[in-house]
Amino acid sequence: MILSKSLMNGSRKPIRRILTGVRPTGKLHLGHYVGALKMWVDLQEEDYDCFFLLADVQALTTHAENPSLIEAAVREVTLDWLGVGLDPHRSNVHFVVQSWVRELPELYTYLSMVAPFSDVRRNPTLKEEMAAIEKKTVSLSEASKTTLGFIDYPVSQVADIELFTPPAPHQKGDALLVPVGEDQVPHIELTNRTVRNFNRTYNEVFLEASARVGEVPRLVGTDGQAKMSKSLGNVIQLADPEEVVTKKVGQMFTDPRKLRQGDPGRPDICPVYTYHQAFGSESNLLGSRDLQARAEACRQGELGCVECKKELAVALNNLLDPIRDRRAKAEKMALRKILEEGTARSREIGVQTLSAVRQAMHLGYPQIH
Ligand code: TRP
């Protein structure tokens, strides 16, 4: 038998994994789609083992008093994922329920010993979310106070990511990719500082994670606020029926100085135009206008908001139609089995990672007989 070169020198094939996730607190919306989901769907076609995490424990950090909401959201998010075309029937795609992975809390405990607190304290995403909780703009939750679990969720997210580290010794080509919305990038920076501390203190166990951010890092809300967000009530959900989408688009905020069709408009400050930019390329149904022509017609007062919105509604419904169809089919699928299988695979990896961690931290105590 001829041994390949890689087998002879003890190396293995590169291990390339993706880990990413979402906190299940409700249905997903267009901001999730352009910020992350679309990129996930593309990545599953590539040569990665993909783990998509339903971060229900993280959802508990703000919704502990509402387990039934979380259960409903786990199901809705699973349907949204299937709807956009993530495909757990492929051998490289796994849906994972965070609370079912018993290895995660253990890894989180160990990693919290080398996670820099100063980083968590400065974390801009965490700060923003804490402010929202204190102001009670976090919807659907009775929680009026920040919990300890919430403050520490970035560290638990480090564990979510690094449970999937390719095993050491790392080979050229190994990868741990975390495709996320822009707001998650500080958590990945924390991950890598924690990884460096661990590897320096013990042995090299963990591979650093690489962030990848979606095409449209932050989608404006239908009301023109900086971010599409359920708690702000300015979202178009992936599961919204056609009439609802058309109605929401009809009510969208536009340039307040453009009162009638003939008034010159400012596309750069108009969320309707921003959506044409973000979604137009998807639809093939932009009417007769390309983006530049649309902006120009708006500026010249040739194109009125009513017509522009109608065209957007058509484009969005075109994009959402196949998603709605797949979602409806997914309602009849055995979702539990999908979640159990994906979770089981992630636990196999978790057991291996933890064994390397415990060994590196000397927790076997070989001197004790
Ligand atoms: N924080 C993410 C959110 O709010 C969810 C999440 C949990 C996550 N663990 C993760 C994202 C690990 C990326 C990687 O939706």
pLDDT by residue (tens digit) across 16-51?
A: 999 999 999 999 999 999 999 999 999 999 989 999
Average pLDDT over residues 116-132: 92
The residue whose CA has the least distance to atom 15 of ligand 1 is 22
Give the nearest ligand 1 atom to 156 CA: 9
Structure tokens at 134: 């204190």
* CB 60, CB 92: distance < 8 Å: no
Residue 289 or 315, more confident: 315
* CB 54, CB 98: distance < 8 Å: yes
What does 54-65 look like in DSSP terms, one character per residue? E-HHHHHHHHTT
* CB 54, CB 22: distance < 8 Å: yes
Average pLDDT over residues 212-216: 88
Give tens-digit pLDDT for 303-341. 999 999 999 999 999 999 999 999 999 999 999 999 999
Cross-strand partners of 212: 179
Q: Which SS3 state, helix, strand or coil, does residue 327 take? A: helix
Q: Is the CB of 184 under 6 A from ligand 1?
A: yes
Tell me which H or E stretch contains 66. Answer: none
Ligand 1, residues 184, 212, 213, 227: which to mutate, most atoms within 8 A of Cβ? 184
Average pLDDT over residues 110-116: 98
Q: Is the CB of 98 under 6 A from ligand 1?
A: no
Band of pLDDT at residue 11, cut at 50, 70 and 90:
confident
Ligand 1, residues 52, 160, 210: which to mutate, most atoms within 8 A of Cβ? 160
* CB 49, CB 342: distance < 8 Å: no
The pTM of the full predicted model, rounded to 2 decimals, is 0.93
Average pLDDT over residues 296-301: 93
Q: Where are the alpha helices (DSSP H) in the chain?
A: 5-8, 30-32, 38-43, 56-63, 67-84, 103-111, 117-122, 124-134, 148-151, 153-162, 185-201, 242-250, 271-283, 291-299, 305-330, 335-360
Which of 353, 293, 369 has its CA nearest to residue 111?
A: 353
Give tens-digit pLDDT for 56-80. 999 999 999 999 999 999 999 999 9
